[in-house]
Structure 1
Amino acid sequence: MKGITDLLSIRRLGRSCMKCKEAPAVLVIRVGDAFCKSCFKDYFVHKFRAMLGKNRVVYPGEKVLLAYSGGPSSSAMIQQVQEGLSRDAPKKLRFIPGIVFVDEGALCGQSWEQREQNVSEMQQALQKTSFPIHIVPLEQVFLLPRSVLQSSLPGNAQHAENYKQAVNSFLGQQRAHQENELSGIADELAQLRITGYECDNNLANGSSYSCPPAELTSALMEIFNSARTLTAKLELLQSLRSHLILHVARTCGYSKVMSGESCSRLAVRLLANISLGRGAFLPLDTGFSDDRYGDVVIVRPMREYSAKEVSFYNRLFGVHSVFIPTMETKAPDNSSIQHLSEAFLTKLQADFPSTVSTVYRQANTAAHTAGVS
């Protein structure tokens, strides 16, 4: 922490925080946007809760599945949810969270011991959350029902059509049980844990994670080896991962899935999708909400954060992320369209700091043109 503070300290330039005008700034997230540590945290937290508040997609009392990859953005997202659910939080979040992690170690040639170590590190990083954790090996895709590919009718008909009515209804239920609030919270957390283990025998969870059958691993490798390029393999991986997360959400009763893509990641996806001929899906692939599956809606509350903002927040406030190798690890820039798009944007961003935000605004324009929030 001291290294990043010394490196980015603005005190030597005689600048103060742009918000409070008093404390010395310790970082600059954009040209002219200098923040002290306290004001940067307020800015980061407010942006997250404002994103959820203005879109009003997540209703009070809903079960929300947090997609965790171990990376900086998804780690910061889980930290925001954890703080937002605390008793002292202003504009307190009122949904019921769970976490899903898809183990893709087989694709990198990792042994079962290495995959267990990755899962163990992930569990240590998440143990303070007390959220139920669903750990699913990628091999589980061979056991998915065909219905996972079919869109279902929205399952939130029980909610009031008006968001304000839903909030009032939820608060009324809380007041009705206020006398046994403490015991109710304990019972609810215990029930979440039980539900996480019993929802599906094929969904590994927490401490019960076990090695998938060797024949499933062999079948998975055979499918990916049949894809001739890394571009095709990454597209296949994205599809299989989405189907797994969708199945976990449906099986365990989650109506929303929170994904941790930052605007930097979405800018890369925009360029890659256009290059791959998937421009028609840009509103769903980069918008705040993706309702293509009907009963389960994917939301992206981190989509207005740059990778730089996420990195600063994690470093300054001790948010732990887990490095897990992927198929792209150590791959050259021209190994795939996705990787080449990322390298292109990263290099352009270094010389022109508004590059990512400009591309991101184009994604917003496409989303609004198509009528997607």
Structure 2
Amino acid sequence: MMCSVGDDIFEGDKFMPTKQVTTSKTCNKCKTAEPQLVLRGKDAYCKSCFLEGVTHKFKSTLGKSKLIRPRDRVLIVYEDNGNSTALLHMVRNGLNLSTPKKLNFIPVVVFVEDQYHLPLKERHNVIEQAKEVITALNFDLILVSLAQYATNSGSIDKLIYSEGLTISESDKDELFKNVQTDTSDTNKTELISIIKRNLLIEVAKHLDCKYVFTSEISMDITTNLLKNVSLGRGSQIPLESGFCDDRDTQVKILRPLYLFDSKEIEYYNKYNNITYVHARTDEVNTYSSIHTLMKKFVMDLQNNFPSTVTTVLKTGDKIERVKGKAICQLCKAPLCDNVPQLTSEESTKFSSLISNTKVDFTNLDFVDKPLDQTDERVFCLSCNELSKCLINS
């Protein structure tokens, strides 16, 4: 008789203990009201306790950082999704409080027009819808075109509009006119991300804002963390996957929603009757870029293993920050220098150097030539690859 170990014969399944799914009949917090939703598959809350918990979570995230001082100016990035609108709603509620725990900073909202996958008419509609949402929450709004910023080297004040932002069908071509035609979707997405971050920093400086609020949630942070590892940006994980990105000495990018999951945001918008801009997304192949592939990978894992995102986030928090004086000229992140051990980046460069170096073995008079790397530390490993995609870089 042949052994059946490893075959698809699960005779022992009947001996496996079955997990009993229990549904709480009362709210986990107040212990009296009937629960309206279940978070993390086990925590049941009524509507009132849920909204109170979300508000406390948001304010405590900002409070624990102890970064924002009274009357500081904060640039809030608005995008065409529910996360951004929820962030604006939480900020407005915090500013309107009459208690000592109220938020006490000066917000300015910016909308970056970058929906180049849409027809011109739909792009205009998105801008108008964004204006309506932001005006309804009583915020000041400024408009900026990503394509105009990428193709103009003039002063940033000429690119900021409160009304009458000019957009055209050629914006996408203008944005990528200095990029090689055979550039992969992964590199294009990375370039757009870097350009947009640099734009937000410049706009914040021009408006005298010390902080920038973005609306990434835990799923976005986790996807970004794994993407950074895949693209050779492991040293940048503490900057791009934590609460605070402080690579710039004057402006810090903060992510107040980085501990929230998509279900919390969804129900927060639902219970507050929040409407938001929902632009038509571009239908892309999941395997066309590292970014879309990582997003699918994380979502699939999260559906089967609910603690995936939490585990990855906690792991990312343990990664030590890079301390270097030199910075990458493209992404502005600090470069690794004076590292006692050989890093994977240095190993890759050394392997490339050996492979591409030609030696005349017929000449026996070898002369030692010291390796000068002073001019090589212009870009980080990932941006060095991106620079090869740029024309006249």
TM-score when normalising by structure 1: 0.76
2:315 aligned partner: 362
Deviations along 1:303-323, one digit per CA (max 9) or x if unpaired, are: 111122111211222222212
C-alpha change, 1:369 and 1:316, in structure 2 (3 Å) is farther
Deviations along 1:46-87, one digit per CA (max 9) or x if unpaired, are: 000001111111111100000111212121111110000004
Equivalent of 2:241 in 267, 279, 286 = 286
Equivalent of 2:149 in 134, 137, 141 = 141
Equivalent of 1:309 in 264, 267, 276 = 264
Deviations along 1:192-248, one digit per CA (max 9) or x if unpaired, are: xxxxxxx9232122x332336x77654224345635221111101101111211121
Secondary structure, in 3 states, of the residue corresponding to 2:159?
coil
Deviations along 1:331-365, one digit per CA (max 9) or x if unpaired, are: 12211111111101111111111111111111111
C-alpha change, 1:211 and 1:338, in structure 2 (3 Å) is closer
- 1:311-326 mapped onto 2 (5 Å cutoff): 311-325=266-280
- 1:1-373 mapped onto 2 (5 Å cutoff): 13=23, 15-88=25-98, 91-106=101-116, 108=117, 110-142=118-150, 145=153, 200-205=157-162, 207-211=163-167, 218-223=173-178, 226=181, 228-325=183-280, 329-366=282-319
Q: AA paired with 2:145? A: P
Q: Distance in 2 between matches of 1:49 and 1:367?
A: 26
C-alpha change, 1:367 and 1:30, in structure 2 (3 Å) is farther
**Tell me, which stretches of 5 or more residues in structure 2 are unaligned?**
1-21, 324-393
Deviations along 1:127-176, one digit per CA (max 9) or x if unpaired, are: 122211111111122465599xxxxxxxxxxxxxxxxxxxxxxxxxxxxx
TM-score when normalising by structure 2: 0.72
Q: Distance in 1 between matches of 2:231 and 2:185?
A: 13
The 8 Å contact of residues 136 and 203 in structure 1, kept in 2 or not, is answered as: yes
2:355 aligned partner: none
The 8 Å contact of residues 17 and 24 in structure 1, kept in 2 or not, is answered as: yes
Q: Distance in 2 between matches of 1:145 and 1:249?
A: 17
The 8 Å contact of residues 71 and 105 in structure 2, kept in 1 or not, is answered as: yes
Q: Distance in 1 between matches of 2:305 and 2:170?
A: 49
Q: Distance in 2 between matches of 1:103 and 1:341?
A: 25
The 8 Å contact of residues 77 and 111 in structure 2, kept in 1 or not, is answered as: yes
Tell me by how many angstroms 1:31 deviates. Answer: 2.8
Deviations along 1:250-301, one digit per CA (max 9) or x if unpaired, are: 1111111011111111000011110011000000001111111111111111
C-alpha change, 1:335 and 1:369, in structure 2 (3 Å) is same
The 8 Å contact of residues 24 and 35 in structure 2, kept in 1 or not, is answered as: no
1:9 aligned partner: none
Q: Distance in 1 between matches of 2:317 and 2:152?
A: 33
Q: AA paired with 2:133? A: A
Relative CO higher for 1 or 2, CA cutoff 8 Å, sep ≥ 6? 1
Q: Distance in 2 between matches of 1:295 and 1:200?
A: 18
Secondary structure, in 3 states, of the residue corresponding to 2:219?
helix
Secondary structure, in 3 states, of the residue corresponding to 1:222?
coil
Q: Distance in 2 between matches of 1:272 and 1:261?
A: 15
Q: AA paired with 1:342? A: K
The 8 Å contact of residues 266 and 360 in structure 1, kept in 2 or not, is answered as: yes
Q: Distance in 1 between matches of 2:141 and 2:102?
A: 22
Q: Distance in 2 between matches of 1:216 and 1:320?
A: 28
Larger Rg: 2
Q: Distance in 2 between matches of 1:14 and 1:48?
A: 26
Secondary structure, in 3 states, of the residue corresponding to 2:158?
coil
Query: Comparing both structures, which one devotes a greater share of its residues to helix?
Result: 1
Q: How high is the sequence identity, in percent, across the aligned residues?
A: 32
Secondary structure, in 3 states, of the residue corresponding to 2:108?
strand
Q: Distance in 2 between matches of 1:68 and 1:264?
A: 18
Secondary structure, in 3 states, of the residue corresponding to 1:226?
coil
Q: Distance in 2 between matches of 1:343 and 1:365?
A: 25
Tell me by how many angstroms 1:14 deviates. Answer: 5.6
1:5 aligned partner: none
- Which stretch has the larger CA shift, 58-67 or 126-135? 126-135
Q: Distance in 1 between matches of 2:321 and 2:24?
A: 42
Q: Distance in 2 between matches of 1:232 and 1:13?
A: 47
